[in-house]
Amino acid sequence: MQRARAPLTGPSNAPHAVAGSIAPCGVVLWAMMVAACGRPSTPVGPALLDLDAPTLAAELAAGRVSAEAATRASLARMAEIDAAGPALNSIIEVNPDAIEIARELDRRWAAGGPVGPLHGLPVAIKANIDTDDRMATSAGSLALAGHHAAADAELVAQLRAAGAVIIAKTNLSEWANFRSMDSTSGWSSLGGQTKNPYVLDRNPCGSSSGSAVAVAARLVPLAVGTETVGSIVCPAAANGVVGIKPTQGLVSQRGIVPLAASFDTAGPMARTVAGAALLLAAMQLVPAADYKAELENLAGVRLGVLHTYRFADVDPGVEAAFAATLQLLEAQGATLVEPADMESLPGFSTAVLEALLFEFKAGLNYYLAEAGIEPRSLEALIAFNSANADTVMPIFGQDLLERSVAHGGLDDADYAEALKASKIALQAQLQALFSEHALDALVVPVNEPAEQIDWVNGDSRSLSSAYLAAVSGYASVAMPSAMIGELPVSIAFVGEPSSDAQLIEIAAAFERARGPLPAPRFIPTLRE
């Protein structure tokens, strides 16, 4: 039976647009503009968002752009593109205090210069991350629509200290895509359906779909997502942006609505590797001064080419694009170790799900009780959803929540076995692979072209490699590698724990060699 559709929703407070124009020579890196056509005028209004994050950060730090101008540009773009126009629906809530926050940053700049490396940059935050402001931390659920956190998540406090303007909360797959096995990525009962900006009826992937779409559509230069098993890597890939899934533990989990503590992490999204690195440096537990990306080429870098990912060799277009990527990496001097493959782990997928079911119950019960809000427990959440089924569950149910609540505690022997057969087993396998081939990183395709949004059957994607870094806790940088027709496909570089800086270097070198890819054109459909 076809399920009823929920209405799409967007931001409630649409700001006024800011007039402006792009300098005649076009918006490119500041130094390139000066070299090519003399010192240009800085773009104003929404055109500011055509600058990548590091370039806009430099303009803000130098005082050539005010924090208020950048914030108004972002708000105007949200009103024009997200709430209206193609109505991407990536923003679940706009910060009503964003302009005043930006004005205060401008006052501080006038008194003593930039506050920090993110001074004045608009940053969007996934709606499962606590912010101590007038925005809710909802996880996309109507049950938490009125939940206002008592304190910033630790990573949010660090971003504010670095000078960021926390401008909006992004939509997500409800409960980080852990409500039902039949879910549709990018849909939540509170926020509706987020759309892929390349082709609007295509799946944006989950659960950090709103964060990825907001960056791809140039609503914000930077956004924060969270990942348990692919929820940074997959939406970054489907929407043609860079997503960094850091080494687990590099970024604090305090103040994030949990899915599974053994796997969860937050991570940055940006249009470029340098932008994602800029955000990661500010949000990690011990903030880094910078992530340098100075490799001119990949000489001496050993990359293991992985072909044993889920549904390898199924999509000829993906395989052709990956082959071209490998040629480009080799031309840059990388040594390709091919194949660097692994045997399937018996019962792996079942064990991963079992570990998630145990940890979700424990983590969510703790979060809800500590927050002192209703619902106070997973059991109460299930009851709320059932009582409000017409609005909460119009297109899929809550079978995962019901399975999770039936599980025991983290002292259950079955939980220990599930963790051993999933995370611990994969870590051992990856460690052996890296050691055997003396690898600096693995390189692997991430996605096939995004499938159509399907509210009847749910997600249907087949190709998947994000579990490698997600389940193991290893680091990963996902980035677009090519276009197949109108849709981006991506690769990921996967490295051992604490290899984040090296992966950023490798990814930046590939990005320079690859060159630019087209921006989204908001095509309604590819169907004739």
Name residue 466's amino acid: A
Q: CA nearest 91: which of 101, 102, 103, 78?
A: 78
The single residue of 231, 465, 472, 490 carrying the catalytic annotation is 231
126 is catalytic: yes
Which residues, 6 or more positions from 416, have their beta carbon under 8 angstroms from its beta carbon?
Answer: none
Q: Tokens 């007039």 — which residue?
A: 19
Name residue 146's amino acid: G
d(CA 444, CA 495): 11
For residue 187, list its beta bridge partners.
193
The single residue of 126, 195, 245, 361 carrying the catalytic annotation is 126
Taken in order 370, 374, 376, 381, is the CA torsion positive or negative?
negative
For residue 305, list its beta bridge partners.
443
Cis peptide before 207 (omega within 30 of 0): yes
Angle CA 147–192–372, to nearest 5:
15
Q: Which DSSP string corresponds to 183-211?
A: --TTEETTTEE---SSBTTB---SSSHHH
Which residues, 6 or more positions from 350, have their beta carbon under 8 angstroms from its beta carbon?
Answer: none
d(CA 49, CA 301): 34
CB of 279 within 8 A of CB of 243? Answer: no
d(CA 119, CA 33): 22
Which residues, 6 or more positions from 370, have their beta carbon under 8 angstroms from its beta carbon?
Answer: none
3-state helix, strand, coil in the chain (%, to 5): 40, 15, 50
d(CA 277, CA 243): 10
207 is catalytic: yes
The single residue of 141, 180, 207, 262 carrying the catalytic annotation is 207
d(CA 361, CA 408): 9
Q: Tokens 């659960």 — which residue?
A: 207
CB of 219 within 8 A of CB of 89? Answer: no
CB of 289 within 8 A of CB of 493? Answer: no
Q: Is 484 exposed, middle or buried (0-12, 13-18, 19+ CB in 10 A)?
A: middle
For residue 266, list its beta bridge partners.
226
Q: CA nearest 88: which of 248, 251, 235, 213?
A: 213
Active-site positions read 126, 207, 231
